[in-house]
Amino acid sequence: MTEEQIDRMLAILDQNDFQHEKFYREALTAWKNGDFSNAVKVHNKIWKWQGGNIGKAYGLLSPEEEKEYIETQSKKMEKKK
């Protein structure tokens, strides 16, 4: 998640009333401060609220896995241009 995306989501929270707003704001604020340690908890809570049954998160990516993921996604984005 980019800083721009986080800022956009925080602005949306500022302009609207949402169920679970406190939860979203706390998660996004942590992310804005560079702390993504709550990402699994956040993902799974939202996943559960939406009735998820496939895609439960079990852990954060290692730095190497994250780098590989970013590179793969960047290549996909370049192909779409």
**Global model pTM greater than 0.85:** no
Domain ranges for the chain = 1-36, 40-81
pLDDT in tens, 2-42: 999 999 999 999 999 999 999 999 999 999 999 999 999 99
How far is CA 80 from each of CA 4, 70, 72, 74, 77, rounded to the nearest angstrom?
Answer: 21, 15, 13, 10, 5
pLDDT in tens, 38-78: 999 999 999 999 999 999 999 999 999 999 999 999 988 88
Distance, CA of 25 to CA of 66 (rounded, Å) = 24
